[in-house]
Each structure stands twice: as C-alpha cells, then as structure tokens.
Structure 1
Amino acid sequence: MAFITESQLRALLPQGLPNPFRLSGGDRLTPAARDFLRDRGIPVTEAPVVSSSGEARRHKPEADIPVGVSNRHIHLSEEHVRLLFGQGHTLMPMKALSQRGQFAAHETVSLAGPKGMIKNVRVLGPSRGETQVEITRTDGFLLGIQPPLRLSGDHADTPGIALYGPKGLVVIESGVIVAKAHIHMSPADAARYGVTHGDRVSVQTHGQRPLTFGEVAIRVHADFSLDFHIDTDEANAAFLQQGDYVSISAGGSDAAWAKG
C-alpha cells in the first residue's frame, strides 16, 4: 500500500490526470490529494481487493471526512442574549467555526443544575430562534440531569436548566441535549457519498482505538462543510481529536446504511 500525495498529482498534471482517478493495490490518497482531485471535479474509484480465495471484496473506505470535536456549548435566542448580557447586546465573534457563518462568541454563561454548576460555557453564534444547550453525558452527571441523545432542534421531553449571565438569570424549561453524532455535508458531498439528508450511516475511526459509530445522521445543506461532529466524550473514547479523519463504512454489508 502507498499513499498518493498532492505533490505527486501535481506532477502528473502536464500529461493529464486520469478521470476518474482509479486507486489500485490498496493505495490511498492523502486528504490534501483527495481535495486536489475533488476541486477539479475528478471522481475517485477503488479497484476491488481480491481475497486469497479469488473472491473480490470491497476496499476499506478511505478516511477522508474531517473530525470536528465539540465541547459543551449553548445557542441562545435573541431574547435570552438580552436577558443574560443586557439590553441591546450583540454576540461578539471570537473565532469562526467550520460551518459557514457560525462562530464561537466571546460571551460565556454558567449552567446550574440540581447537583452542580458548570461555569464559562461558550456561547455560539449567531443567535437562534430557540435556546439550546449541548452538553456531554458526563456533564449531565455533574449537573444532576439526564439529557437525551438528540439532533439539534429536537427538544421534546428534554430537561431544562438555569443559565447565569453577567446581567441576569434565565431558566429554560427544556432544550438541554446530548448532541447525536452527525456529518455535515454540502449537496456535492452528499452526491459523492451517495447519501441524502436524513440518512444514517456507520462511521469508522482509524486511530489508536478504532471504533465504529452507528446511526450517524447525515445533515445536508448548501452552506455546510464536510465535518463529522462528535462531542468530547465520544472523541475521548475513540482517541480522536480535532482534524483527524474518519470514513463512512458499511462494515462489509449494506445493512449499515439506513434511510430516514
């Protein structure tokens, strides 16, 4: 097996790159090389691997989906921004996030549950129509609540919590979740992977502790950038960190793919 780099692909440009670009013999592309081909609209195909019995089987999928590790955070409604930080306050961007238009704000709040408090929880912007708190299961034990595993925006039967800001206190009746692992994709990415919005897939990690994440939701939008979104509990369990790469895997069977 060999890794094909972006530099090698650039060296082939004068004589023309194969279209589609076919991988063989277990060769793999580096992430930069795959981006290089994708930017030029060149699809990648993989030759089947032949087992010792002579039977063709599928190649191991290439790890080309970047990992985004999300720490606990909160999305605030405009009303709650005013109540927590003062009338007329606007969230101040501190750092752009991987998804277009999203940012980590300078503002933080404290979360208070029946058993404990977590201070300096980062607010993400821009403000939303409804406040949502995303924590890990471990955070829930500390706070004394048991938020369910949910996709963003699904607040039915979720616990509430008290939010403390520099200018006030807000108690929400619901909206605390543990974010379900998902992959953000653009429509072009979705077409490349053969999935649609709402599909569920299995994701394989390839680090020190290889794990398979099941029931990973596909989220497709024109503004989305490719990103496998997990929380810190999940990242720690799989020995993953921001910027690592994973692959969509059917585990040798199409049964790992589900619609809806």
Structure 2
Amino acid sequence: MLVEVGISARHIHISKKSLAILFGEDYELHIFREVKQPGQFGAEETVSVVGPKGSFPTVRILGPIRAKDQLEVSVSDCFKLGVKPMVRESGKIEGAPGIKLVGPKGEVEINEGVIVAARHVHLSQVFADKEGIIDGQLLKAKIEGERALVFDNVIARISPDFVEEFHIDTDEANAALVRSGDKVTLIK
C-alpha cells in the first residue's frame, strides 16, 4: 500500500472570530496555494505567534475557516516557543497550551490549541474499503532509504473526500530524510 508523504510545516487553523480581530471585520482569506486535500489551502495571510520564550513572525494560515483556533507545530517549535509539546489528533485541543496570535489589526490570546499533530494518513473511502482499513485504525508507515525507519501509531483518517496522503511534521521528516511527494508503504 504505497501513499505519498505530505510534510506538515508549522501552520495555524483560525476561527472566524479570531480572523476578524486579527485582520478586521468581515475579512476573507485569500488562496496562496491549494494543498492536496480537497477544499483546503494555504492562505496568503500569516500571523505572528508569541510564546513564553520565543516567537515565529510568519505562520501561514491554513484554510478554510475552522470552528476553533489550532496551531500545529513540531516538538522543536514547542521548545523555541516555550510551550509543552502535546501530541494530539487535529481538533482535539482541550488542555493543550495557549499562545498569543498577532495580526495586522489586532492580537488574540488563545487559551488552548497548540498541538504537535499526531501522525496520520488521509485515505479515501474507496482505498480504505479495498485495503480493509477502518477510520481511526492504527497503522505503520515504512520509509526506505539512507535513514529508513518505520513510523508506528499512524492514525487512519477516512473520508470520501480525502486523497491518499501520509502526514508527518518537519521533525519527523528530517529524521527520515524524506520529502513531500516521496512514497511510504502502509502496514496494517
């Protein structure tokens, strides 16, 4: 079961309320680049994120608008920001550290929402059915090459709208010397 790798660099999902504070009332995001998953995009807009120990001046917003603010970073990013790394599935932000967001029109303090995204693989329903994989199932992903390794605890996320893609963060990608577009083998 070969699928492509998609490396997830630090980014933020933003709520409508925070977007209005950071960029102005009724502001709408502008598409910078489509990403592989249908309907999602990297926006032209960026924000600064400020933690207790450090900051990143330009963190890209990933659209579309979400119900809650969620900053996805690597473990190395957490160390720089000065927040406790918490590995979570996307959307499961309860109890995760907060952070300050700074935009051109204002600032927002989010009380929770900084996560290290759990490694996962997006699968279409057709692919999942063919391979006998169910939503939430834990898989492995094997990467070949000079720094070959096997990632455990890869969460299968299944939807009719998804395109097959294995998501890891920059720390994980660097450890395996893998790039977006490379292939990995999924193991049940």
TM-score normalised per structure 1: 0.71
> Which runs of 5 or more structure 1 residues have no equivalent in the other structure?
1-61, 250-256
What is the letter of the counterpart of residue 29 of structure 2?
L
Written as runs of structure 1 = structure 2, the 5 A alignment for 1:1-150 is 64-150=2-88
Between 1 and 2, higher relative CO (CA 8 Å, sep ≥ 6) is seen in: 2
Per the alignment, residue 184 of structure 1 pairs with 122
- Residue 134 of structure 2: aligned partner: 196
Q: Give TM-score scaled by structure 2 length.
A: 0.98
Alignment match of 1:207 (pick from 121, 124, 145): 145
SS in 1 for 2:64: strand
- Cα separation, 1, equivalents of 2:117 and 2:131: 23
The residue aligned with 1:236 is 174
How far 1:207 moved relative to its partner?
2.1
Could you tell me how far apart the structure 2 residues matched to 1:150 and 1:203 are? Answer: 18
Pick aligned residue for 2:186 from 242, 248, 251 = 248
Higher helix share: 1
Q: Following TM superposition, where does structure 1 have runs of at least 4 consecutive aligned residues deviating by more than 2 angstroms?
A: none
- Give, in whole Å, the separation in 2 of the partners of 1:154 and 1:115: 24
Question: 1:87 and 1:156 mapped to 2: Cα distance?
Answer: 27
String of CA shifts for 1:62-98, please: whole Å, max 9, x gaps.
5x21000010000000111110011111000111000
How far apart, CA to CA, are the structure 2 residues paired with 1:84 and 1:111? Answer: 12
Instruction: Output the CA distance in 2 between the equivalents of 1:107 and 1:156.
Output: 26
User: Which amino acid counterpart does residue 216 of structure 1 have in structure 2?
Assistant: V
Amino acid at match of 1:110: S
Shift of 1:157: 1.4
Residue 30 (structure 1) aligns with: none
What percentage of residue pairs aligned between the two structures are identical? 45
Shift of 1:193: 2.0
CA distance in 2, matches of 1:93, 1:147: 29
Q: Distance in 2 between matches of 1:121 and 1:231?
A: 15
Rounded Cα–Cα distance in structure 2 between residues aligned with 1:241 and 1:164: 30
Could you say which residue in structure 2 is the equivalent of 1:57? none
1:210-229 equivalent positions in 2, closer than 5 A: 210-229=148-167
SS state at 2:39 partner: coil
Residue type of the partner of 2:103?
G
Greater Rg by CA: 1
- Match of 1:152? 90
Superimposed CA distance per residue, residues 11-70 of structure 1 (whole angstroms, 9 cap, x where no aligned partner): xxxxxxxxxxxxxxxxxxxxxxxxxxxxxxxxxxxxxxxxxxxxxxxxxxx5x2100001
